Amino acid sequence: MSKEQQLQLDAILRQGGLDTNADVPTLRAAFSELMAQVPVAPDIQQSPVEIGGVAGVEVAIHGNDSENVILYFHGGVYVIGYAAATVPLVGDLVRRTGTKAITLEYRLAPEHPYPAAVDDARAAYVGLLAQGIAPGQIALAGESAGAGLAVALLLALREAGVPLPSCAYLMSPYADLTLSGETLAAKREVDPLLTPEGLRARVPDYVGGGDASDPYISPIFGDLRELPPLLIQVGSHEVLLSDALRLAGRAAISDVPVTLDVTPGVPHVFQAYAALLDEAGTALDRASEFVKAQLAHSPSHAQIA
């Protein structure tokens, strides 16, 4: 672990941080400008795709013909973000796992508040099943709001009786839109990216006329029984640390196989900075071993109900 790397990354993020209190067009433009600076490795192939009527980007590594698929959900407090922005991170994950991935272009608030994102996630997953891909060949993954969306999707699929995927890999999950976690205050000074005020400003965009404590909005309040294995990774310098801790606790109480992986001194979705931070690459290595193990353990050709 390199303390120097951590301090360097912290300084970069504080200088180039997004003001989530800004109006939505300004916020989206700033995010797009920021993400346009992130290079995509030359071995990563990306192509537009539509699955279940929802647009996305398929991410693959040349020469990899695996039938296993990671269905990926981007972050951005349900208001910003887009599939192509995740390609560098998803590419790192695809390279390590030997799979391909589809990073989804789910609809964003405030134009499309809840339940649009959950509906799109479910449509895409069911679309994969309709293509003949077995549930055991699918892993879910996501960061921040996308990680929360992955858990909401699992709850929706279970309630509908749809066969569940092999596992879910959750990076810095945003799982409590009531913002009741104690680390919102406790970690405020050390988090270079997110603030309680910035999060609070965006909650009404997604919740709309709903209830922020609805488990499909804030899965921290959901019944997690019978979900597939979860890997939750989070940094100790996050205001959302308590979301991850409580989500892991609820999963464990519900007898869900869950691994909680807390890395000291690193920020929100630190895995995206593998080029700068040793801990990011190490975390992705651990995640890839988890995903590969779950895909290998799951029946490859299970019957689809």
Rounded to whole angstroms, the Cα distance separating 83 from 105 reads 5
**Is 302 a domain residue?**
no
Amino acid present at 194? L
The encoded tokens of residue 282 equal 């190490």
Degrees to nearest 5, angle at CA 224 with 262 and 257: 50
pLDDT score for 11? 85
Give the 3-state secondary structure percentages of the chain, helix then strand then coil, rounded to 5: 45, 15, 40
**Is 304 a domain residue?**
no
How much is the average pLDDT of 273-284?
A: 93
Where does the pLDDT of residue 303 fall: very low under 50, low under 70, confident under 90, or very high at 90 and above? very low
Rounded to whole angstroms, the Cα distance separating 186 from 278 reads 26
**Is 10 a domain residue?**
yes
pLDDT score for 19? 76
Strands of the sheet containing 167-171, edge to edge, are 44-51, 54-61, 100-104, 69-73, 138-143, 167-171, 230-235, 258-263
Least confident of 97-101, 177-181, 279-283, 296-300: 296-300
What's the number of domains the chain is made of?
A: 1
How much is the average pLDDT of 89-108?
A: 97
CA distances from 165 to 138, 150, 155, 196 (A): 5, 11, 12, 33
User: Which CATH number covers residue 50?
Assistant: 3.40.50.1820
Find residue 101's DSSP bridge partners. 59, 70
Least confident of 2-16, 73-87, 163-177, 239-253: 2-16
The range of the structural domain enclosing residue 220 comes to 3-297
Would you name the residues annotated as active-site residues? 144, 238
Least confident of 64-68, 130-134, 261-265, 279-283: 64-68
H or E segment at 241?
Answer: helix 241-253
Are the beta carbons of 232 and 259 closer than 8 angstroms? yes
